[in-house]
Structure 1
C-alpha cells in the first residue's frame, strides 16, 4: 500500500507540473534519476508513474531519447484536490438528508434490496454491498438531483489517489461487525419510516468513519516519523565505529 501511495503521488505531481505549463507539449521531462531525487522515491516508483502517464496519453517514452510531453486537443483542467475528510463530511451531510427523505418514500422492494446488502456484508462482500446500500437509499428518494449527487460523491471516492489511499487504510482496519451494525441501524430506521432516526443513524455511521480516518492518518504519520528517525539513526550512530575500535 505504501508503494501504491508513492506511485500515485508521483503521477499527480508530474500531471500538475504539466498542467501548470512547467513542461509544455513537446518538452522532455527530467531524467528518471533526477525525478527520483526530486520526489525522494526509488527509480522503479518513478518508472511506474511514467507508465501510468503514458497510458493516460500525457507523455510519450522514446527509447534512448527520453520522456516527452504530448500535445493535447484541449487544455486539461487542473483537478482541485479534495481530502477524504471533506468528502466524508459532505457525504454525511448530504446522505443524512437523503436517508431522511428516503424514509418517507421507500418501497418494500427497496427495503428487501437493502436487506440483501446486509446479508452480503455478513458474507464478506463488504465493498460492493456498501456501495449498493447507499445507492438504493439514494434512488428511494425519487429525487434525481440527490441520486446524481450521491453517485458523484461515490465517483470522487474512487477517482482521487489520496482519497483511495486514505479510505483503503481505514477499510483494512475496519471492524466488519461494527460497520454491519451501523448499516443495520439505518435500515431499521428506514423500515419504520422514521426520518429523524434515519438521518441520525447515517450521521453516526459517517462520524465513526471520520474518526477512523483521523486514527489511520495519525498512525501513518507516526510510522513515517519512525522510519525517518531510523534512517537518521543508521546514518549518524557511532555504534559501528565504536565496535570497530573495540
Structure 2
C-alpha cells in the first residue's frame, strides 16, 4: 500500500513555503517586486486573502517587504532570515469568528455593563482619541475597549472565548496584518468613529444600536483586511 503524507499545515503557510523556495532559488532577485496578489492567487489556485496572509508571513520571516498600495518586494537574504511563523492562527478566520460573537456581546453589554465598565470604556476611548490625533495606534487600547465590552456582557463564557480570540490577535502574523491597516490614516479615523458609535449604543442601553454598530465595525475591518493593497 502506497500512501502519501497528509499535511495539516495552514494553507497560507503552504503558499508561503512555495514563494520562499522560489526566492531562495533566485527566481526573483532582491529588491524586485513579486507578482501581484491577483496573479499569485490565479497561479496558485487560491483566494487573494490566502495570498495576503502568506505574504505577511513571509514579511514576518524577513523574506519580503510589503508596501501597502504597492506590493511585496524581495529582501536581501545575505544576512539570513527567520523560519516562517507556523504556530499562529489565520487573521481572516479570527476576524470572522469575532464577527459572529462580538455584536451580541455589545448588545448584552448595553443591558448589563457596570458603572466601572462604562468608566473603563471611556478611558479606552480617551486613549484611542489621543493616539489617533497623534497619528498612531495602540492594539492595547483597542483590546481594552473590546474586552471591557465582553466583560460587560455578563456572560463569562463569552468573555473567555473573546479573550482567547484577542490573544490570537497578538500573534505575529495578525499583529503585522493590523500594523498595515493602522498605517492608513483613513482606516484609523473610521475605526475611531465606529468605536464611538458602539460605546454610545451601550451607554444608552440600546441593544440593537450597539449590536449594529459592532457588526458594522467588524464588517469594515474585515473589508479593509481583504481590500486590494497592490
Which of 192, 200, 224 does residue 212 from structure 1 map onto?
224
What is the 5 A alignment of 1:166-181? 166-175=177-186, 176-181=188-193
2:105 alignment partner in structure 1: 98
Distance apart, 1:214 and its partner CA = 2.2
Which of 2, 10, 24 does residue 36 from structure 1 map onto?
24
Distance apart, 1:205 and its partner CA = 0.6
Alignment of 1:198 onto 2:210: yes
Aligned Cα root-mean-square deviation (Å): 3.3
Measure the CA separation in 2 of the matches of 1:80 and 1:43.
25
Higher helix share: 1
Q: State the aligned residue count.
A: 166
SS class of match (1:123): helix
- Moved beyond 4 Å, runs of 4+: 38-43, 78-81
Structure-2-length-normalised TM-score: 0.61
What is the 5 A alignment of 1:1-246? 36-37=24-25, 44=77, 47-49=80-82, 79=87, 81-82=89-90, 84-124=91-131, 126-127=137-138, 128-161=140-173, 163-175=174-186, 176-215=188-227, 218-220=228-230
When residues 48 and 207 of structure 1 are mapped into structure 2, their CA distance, relative to the original with a 3 A threshold, is same
Distance apart, 1:107 and its partner CA = 1.1
Q: 1:183-221 deviations in whole A, cap 9, x for unaligned? A: 111111111111111110000111111121122xx223x
Whichever of the two has the greater Rg, that structure is: 1
**Conservation of the 8 A alpha-carbon contact between 1:120 and 1:126:** no
Structure-1-length-normalised TM-score: 0.57
**Conservation of the 8 A alpha-carbon contact between 2:137 and 2:182:** no
Structure with more contact order per residue of length (Cα contacts < 8 Å, sep ≥ 6): 2
Measure the CA separation in 2 of the matches of 1:170 and 1:205.
14
